Amino acid sequence: NAGVMQNPRHLVRRRGQEARLRCSPMKGHSHVYWYRQLPEEGLKFMVYLQKENIIDESGMPKERFSAEFPKEGPSILRIQQVVRGDSAAYFCASSPRSLGRGIYGYTFGSGTRLTVV
């Protein structure tokens, strides 16, 4: 997990505030994926990004959620006007390529645990 850096590890926000979650992929990886995990559940796909491009955002709510992966800097998952239901662990993963990436596997970060109070 040390290769993918996520911060902060824990984030507390009041309802209506904005949450920004950051992810720096493993060195040499240009593909970033965000997943959400609720307690006692598996990982739900949210969005897949390459540098400056959103490839697949089919798992992301249409409102309040957005993601970017700029040319320079980390990938950002942004949640506007947070509600209690947004409380979850958000994981970022990276891979070195898209085609056949299942063969290489994903490297996950340690996650950001968002609590909305």
Residues forming contacts to another protein in the complex (CB under 8 A) are 1, 4, 33, 35, 40-45, 48, 56, 91, 93, 100-111
Contact 14, 117 (CB under 8 A): yes
In angstroms, give the least distance from the CB of 71 to another protein. Answer: 23
CA atoms within 13 A of residue 100's CA, in its CB half-sphere: 2
Contact 105, 38 (CB under 8 A): no
In angstroms, give the least distance from the CB of 42 to another protein. Answer: 4
Among residues 10 and 15, whose Cβ is nearest to another protein? 10
In angstroms, give the least distance from the CB of 90 to another protein. Answer: 10
Among residues 85 and 102, whose Cβ is nearest to another protein? 102
- The conformation of residue 24, written as its DSSP 8-state character, comes to E
* DSSP reduced 3-state for 47: strand
In angstroms, give the least distance from the CB of 82 to another protein. Answer: 21
Among residues 69 and 106, whose Cβ is nearest to another protein? 106
Among residues 30 and 110, whose Cβ is nearest to another protein? 110
Residue with tokens 């056949």: 100
Residue with tokens 């950002």: 76
Q: Give the list of residues 6+ apart from residue 101 with CB closer than 8 angstroms, or none.
A: 31, 95
